[in-house]
Amino acid sequence: MLGIDPAAAAVLRRRCGWQAGQRRACWLDLVHGMLGFSFNGIACMPVLIRALVLLILTATLSGCGYNAIQQKEEGVKAGWAEVLNQYQRRADLIPNLVRTVQGYAQQERQVLTEVTNARARAGQIQVNADDEASLKQFQQAQGELGSALSRLLVVSENYPQLKSDQSFRDLQVQLEGTENRITVARGRYIQTVQDYNTYIRSFPQVITAKIFGYQPKPNFSVENEAQIARAPQVDFGHQQAPQQTPQQQPAPQPAQ
């Protein structure tokens, strides 16, 4: 009896004997075993039948999307890792950018401090992409950092010597490329999460997802997406001529 002790074998023979009136109990034990309650019934079934049951169970899980759910979840994880990688590339460029700008525009201390502080806040967040509140906090911090960078680059327009500095121009090219990669990585991640969430909510995958504990994942919110999708304008190849402002006429005196 497959290595079980004699007492247990006697019980199984009495309960799962091949008499017509006792086979029903044997099949009930098999069903309970598949559901996780008892495995006694499996021991009384021939090896071929047990293999067939396992094969049917495996095919059922595959047909309900278990393998596809796993693949899509791995795709979400890979997409999120790429998003973090590109944001980190941008953060790594900021110290050199701040030092270069500071060498030509020390009086812009407030803007430089805003960039430095925004970078520090973004780096302190321990983001969990599966937690909606944590993801929103991460989005907000990265959006604030992007806004601070935009203000710094706008201020840099007022310093021709800074714009002609080779180090600054190299940083400008790297930052522009990084911002583009952030946009691409974020867009791919949004699509991957949407595909995953739609899949596990569809039938029959929704049953498999509930059984194995797969949950919908939070995504970048629409309102923040519009803000953080705007990359800082870092093209200093052409300087725009200052616009002439019309002379303002004195405001009319109120009637007495």
**Which CA distances in Å does 9 have to 2, 17, 41?**
9, 11, 12
Q: What pLDDT sits at residue 221?
A: 78
Count structural domains, the chain.
2
92 and 203 share a domain?
yes
Q: How far apart are CA 205 and CA 209, in angstroms?
A: 6
134 and 224 share a domain?
yes
Q: What pLDDT sits at residue 146?
A: 94
23 and 144 share a domain?
no
Q: How far apart are CA 108 and CA 120, in angstroms?
A: 19
Instruction: Provide the domain limits for residue 101.
Output: 66-228
The CATH number of whichever domain residue 178 belongs to comes to 1.20.1440.20
71 and 37 share a domain?
no
Q: What pLDDT sits at residue 199?
A: 95
Q: What pLDDT sits at residue 49?
A: 74
**Could you list the mean pLDDT of each consecutive 10-residue stretch along the chain, which spans 256 residues?**
49 45 45 46 61 60 76 96 97 95 89 95 95 95 95 91 92 93 96 96 89 93 51 44 42 45
Q: What pLDDT sits at residue 208?
A: 87
